[in-house]
Amino acid sequence: MYIPHFIKMLIVIVLLFFNNQADCRMIVESGSKNAIMYKVIGEFIGVSSAGTHLYFCSRKDATNILKHFTDKHTINSRVLNFKLSSNEIIASFLQPQITEIFLDLTCRSGIQFLVQSFQHFNSSYRWLLWTNNYNQTIDHLNPARILVDSAVTVAVASEDETIVYDLYKMHYSTPFTVTKLKLWPATGTSINFGMPKPRNNFMGTVIKASVVARFLNYSQDNIIELMLDPSYMPGMDAKRRFHLRMFIYLAEHYNFTPSYKFARTWGIPTKNGSFIGMIGQLQRNETEISAVYTIFSVPRSAVIDYVLAVTYAKGSILFLQPKLLGTYKALVVPLQPIVWVAILVISIVTIISFKVVGRCKELWSDSTLMVVATIAQQGGPDMENLSKRLWHLAALNFAFFITLYYNIAILSGLLLPAPNAIQNMDQLLASNLKFGVETEPYIRNDAESNDELSVRLRAKMAKSKLSNKVYFDSDEGLELVRRGGFAFYNLVTDSYAKIRDKYTEAEVCSLTEIDKFSKTHIGPIVQNNGPYKELFRRSILLMKENGMIKNQFKFWVASKPECIWKQEKFTIGTRALTIAFSVLLIGLFVSGIVFILEVRNFRKKRKQVVFYSKELSLLSQKILP
């Protein structure tokens, strides 16, 4: 039968109208049934929903939630099934800092998704779990990583009401701390019960901590008490003792009991990617936090997590500035080599001139002595001819000006502080100083690295190593520095106490440090993906703000010794007079040899005189009757 086209259009419009009415009734009925769920989700999502994932057991709920929030939020709503993996919620740099997750636990696939997500309950996620069985949900959550840094809200729904809880554990070994936050009745307004409990009391829970004591004997039973006693081996392991004191304050603030595990090193990587020392203890979950601080480095960050930078470490090369005054070079350096050569040449020419002007009547020794006396400004003997006097006057004037500038150079070296001869790394490597490296593992590893500066440093050490030795402990290296002519690469901040006790004021003022690497931050570390990073960070920041860290650092760790300059009497030692003594001894030796030759010559001549005397006597007896 033929039906007009306009009638067909009318029938379609009527059918669409009744279908829309049915959908609306279905939405209203569904909304009245799950209205509380949508309200709880609305509060959970908050203002910004970037990075929000919603997982429902019902397709209808997954669709309806989009109709409620699409106009204000951009969310990812999914229907749970057994093929769905929790890998899609893994945080990455492409996602927001915190990912919000709603999970419906009223079906088996929701429980399965929960079990797969046990390691994702850290500070990067906020969870809202919807369930109708509180006890069963708590049993499922017991193995999960729900600790002090977790943000987990559980909404328990029933026919009459829905109750919202906040839950967490202070430690793996403690039960859940559960706080009732809100009640949503089926009809009426919601009731707020208050804020979640503060997460700052471990109630005496034992937390395992790593301690590094490089020089102290940690096999003693009371080593912790000894480390906290400033009168016990003062200055030894000073920084570690300061770190331990701050860790004790942290334990008191959060009311936990430390259990210590000792190590000799902070962390040395092995070929298989694992670490030994304190880093290895945290990597193997033998401890949960470090009671002492360590240097921040990229390789370590792959297996542990840094809490906060508290202080710094600095690797520098220590040495005393080379001094010429007080050494055998002090009498030579004021004049340049070319000036000494000129003086020598002029002296020889003057000796020859005196010999010529004197018409060869004088001996060479007399001319030489006259030139030496002229240079020493001691005058000379009486001279007969005018030409010799004029030449001697010119030589005296020449010697006067040379001696004047020479004495001024010596005097300025005594009165004025000389500028440092070595001021940067290039000058240091080009100097004549011998080099050594501290046996500290971090410094040793840095010296053995392949960067350009380390390669140059090793080449310098190979040419100038002391007694076929390159690595020295702290005490031995600092003693060699104090003697002079030695440069020592070490953790300089750990050496200040020893320098203050062993070096004189003059040595402290001459001490120079050139950084091989700039200040490197150090701080406590925790297990990778551990729960205590943010909690302990807040407490350490509080201690920094109220001055506790600064005061304790000054108490335990020595600061750089200051150069207190004051004018003191200057004394010349035998080393500075080496040239004078050498000239005297050489003169004594030469004069002794000449004296022996003169004695032999005198005896020989005397024998000849005696012989000729006897011959004359015999001859006279023959001639005279």
Confidence of residue 292 (pLDDT cuts 50, 70, 90): very high
User: Of 96, 43, 42, which is closest to residue 65 (Cα–Cα)?
Assistant: 42
**Reduced DSSP (H G I as helix, E B as strand, rest coil) percent helix, strand, coil of the chain, to 5:** 45, 20, 35
Question: pLDDT-derived band of residue 390, with 50, 70 and 90 as boundaries?
Answer: low
- Looking at the predicted structure, is the pLDDT value of residue 23 above 50? no
Q: Is residue 9's pLDDT more than 80?
A: no
Q: In this predicted model, which residue has the larger pLDDT, 126 or 568?
A: 126
Q: What is the CATH number of domain 30-192?
A: 3.40.50.2300
DSSP label at residue 469: B
| The pair of three-digit structure tokens given for residue 345, joined into one six-digit string | 């040449």
- Maximum pairwise Cα distance, the chain: 201
Could you give the C-alpha distances from 269 to 82, 210, 302, 379, in angstroms and in order? 41, 17, 11, 76
The DSSP secondary-structure symbol of 567 reads -
Residue 130 is predicted with a pLDDT of 95
| Of residues 527, 547, 353, 516, the one with CA closest to residue 429 | 516
What is the model's pTM? Answer: 0.69
Cβ-contact 280, 274 below 8 angstroms: yes
Which residues contact residue 255 at a Cβ distance below 8 angstroms, ignoring those fewer than 6 apart?
Answer: 200, 201, 202, 203, 204
Find how far residue 79's CA is from the centre of its chain. Answer: 52
Quick check: 416 pLDDT over 80? no
CB 231 within 8 A of CB 284: no
List helix spans (H) across 190-335: 223-227, 238-254, 278-283, 298-301
Q: Reply yes or no on whether the pLDDT at 289 is more than 90.
A: yes
Within 187-274, residue ranges assigned H as helices are 223-227, 238-254
Q: At residue 569, does pLDDT exceed 60?
A: no
- Of the segments 323-327, 504-508, 612-616, which one has the largest average pLDDT value? 504-508
Task: Report the C-alpha gap between 609 and 616 in whole angstroms.
Answer: 10
Q: What value does the mean pLDDT of the chain take? A: 79
Residue 26 pLDDT level (bands cut at 50, 70, 90): very low
Burial label for 600, CB within 10 Å (0-12, 13-18, 19+), is: exposed
Q: Report the alpha-carbon distance of residue 457 to residue 428 in Å, rounded.
A: 10
**Token pair in block for residue 31:** 């909304």
Domain spans of the chain? 30-192, 337-415
Reported confidence tier of residue 279, pLDDT bands at 50, 70, 90: very high
Identify the sign of the CA torsion 301, 306, 309, 315.
negative
Provide mean pLDDT across the span 374-402: 67
DSSP class of residue 311 equals: E
Per-residue pLDDT band for 46 (boundaries 50, 70, 90) equals: low
For residue range 216-262, list pLDDT tens digits in order.
Answer: 665 666 788 888 888 888 878 888 889 999 999 999 999 999 999 98
Higher pLDDT, 310 or 47: 310
pLDDT over threshold 80, residue 399? no
Contacts of 376 (CB under 8 A, 6+ apart): 399
**Cα R_g (the chain), whole angstroms:** 46
* Packed helices 364-375 and 386-415: angle between N→C axes, nearest 10 degrees: 40
pLDDT above 60: residue 298: yes
Other C-beta atoms within 10 Å of 447: how many? 22
**Residue 180 host element (H or E):** strand 177-185
CA 503/CA 561 separation, integer angstroms = 10
Q: Residues 153, 180: contact at Cβ < 8 Å? A: no
